[in-house]
Structure 1
Amino acid sequence: MYKFIQLSIFLENQKGNLYVVTDLLAQNDINIKALFLADTSEFGILRLVVPDYKKAKRVLEEKHYIVKETPVICAVMDDVPGGLSSILKILRDEDIDLEYLYAIAQGEIEKAGLLLHTKDLDQLEEVLLKNDIPLVPSELIYNAE
């Protein structure tokens, strides 16, 4: 109900590669809802959340990109100083080991989305809900267009 798929695309660390991927998705009418790019000296990992991840994966793989599906959860937090640390404190206290996270600000509504991944998403979901942290239902992501 709260888990959704994030795509991780492996990119050679070359000028213009991010444009090529985002343009390819745009040409195929695929909207990007969240994006995070991490790089090393030789390659980058582009993490994307899109409403139609199966179509996006197919389009990218047809162009020979390596694409991995990873389940994530999106928590809703207040977009104020301390909003993030209050959630991280709960996770620390509950001994949740995050593999990574990234945030998306929602602008004028003073809320932000926090995309989270850990080895045990069921435990993460349980802890967040137990502590009254709202989660974004997956159907809001998949029906976003």
Structure 2
Amino acid sequence: MKEGKNMTIKQISIFVENKPGRLSDVTAALKNGGINIRAITTADSSDFGILRLIVDDTDKAIECLKTADYLVKVTNVIAVTADDKPGGMASIMKTLYKANISVEYMYSAFLNPSEVTACLILRVDSNENAIEALTDAGYKLLSADELAKF
């Protein structure tokens, strides 16, 4: 399936002060809204951090976070399954490299579609080209609906 728009996942980026308790506050706001976090990563500087999330209900999460006065940005990313063994991720990276696709960042998700696979979240310079290269190479990409079900 090479449906570029259907195979991207909405990622929420939240800008938070780099102070004790901020992650607790953000995750509590999501908990209170009944939002399940499917993947998470942080990047920080001395003054602020960027918390990136994949959740089961993006629109509801955005509403909860904005109500709690957080600055929120939505970005489309890709979720791809990898063989959970040495070289599984290297194979995906080689596929993207051969297609001249740059990975801006990646992180793993809190799900395992099967006992032999893991899931990577990728931010790349061209979602459409990455989706084509990965599906042509036989990799399974996950839709937002599939991620929400795990």
TM-score, with normalisation over the residues of structure 1?
0.93
Total equivalences in the alignment: 144
Deviation at residue 106 of structure 1 after TM alignment: 2.2
Deviation at residue 62 of structure 1 after TM alignment: 1.2
Partner of 2:61 in structure 1? Answer: 56
Partner of 2:86 in structure 1? Answer: 81
Superimposed CA distance per residue, residues 85-136 of structure 1 (whole angstroms, 9 cap, x where no aligned partner): 1111111111101111112362970211010112311111001001111111
Coordinate RMSD, CA, aligned: 1.6
Superimposed CA distance per residue, residues 23-78 of structure 1 (whole angstroms, 9 cap, x where no aligned partner): 11101111101111111111111011111111111111111111000001101001
Alpha-carbon distance change, 73 to 108 in structure 1, aligned in 2, over 3 angstroms? closer
Partner of 1:3 in structure 2? Answer: 8
Quote the Cα distance in structure 1 between the aligned partners of 2:128 and 2:114: 31
Q: Which runs of 5+ in 1 are unaligned?
A: none
Quote the Cα distance in structure 1 between the aligned partners of 2:143 and 2:73: 22
Matched letter for residue 116 of structure 2: E
Partner of 1:112 in structure 2? Answer: 118
Quote the Cα distance in structure 2 between the aligned partners of 1:138 and 1:31: 13
Matched letter for residue 17 of structure 1: R
Partner of 1:25 in structure 2? Answer: 30
Quote the Cα distance in structure 2 between the aligned partners of 1:108 and 1:59: 31
Quote the Cα distance in structure 1 between the aligned partners of 2:44 and 2:19: 11
Quote the Cα distance in structure 2 between the aligned partners of 1:138 and 1:121: 15
Q: Which runs of 5+ in 2 are unaligned?
A: 1-5
Quote the Cα distance in structure 2 between the aligned partners of 1:87 and 1:107: 17
Runs of 4+ aligned structure 1 residues displaced above 6 Å come to none
Partner of 2:141 in structure 1? Answer: 135
Partner of 1:65 in structure 2? Answer: 70
TM-score, with normalisation over the residues of structure 2?
0.90
Partner of 2:130 in structure 1? Answer: 124
Matched letter for residue 110 of structure 1: V
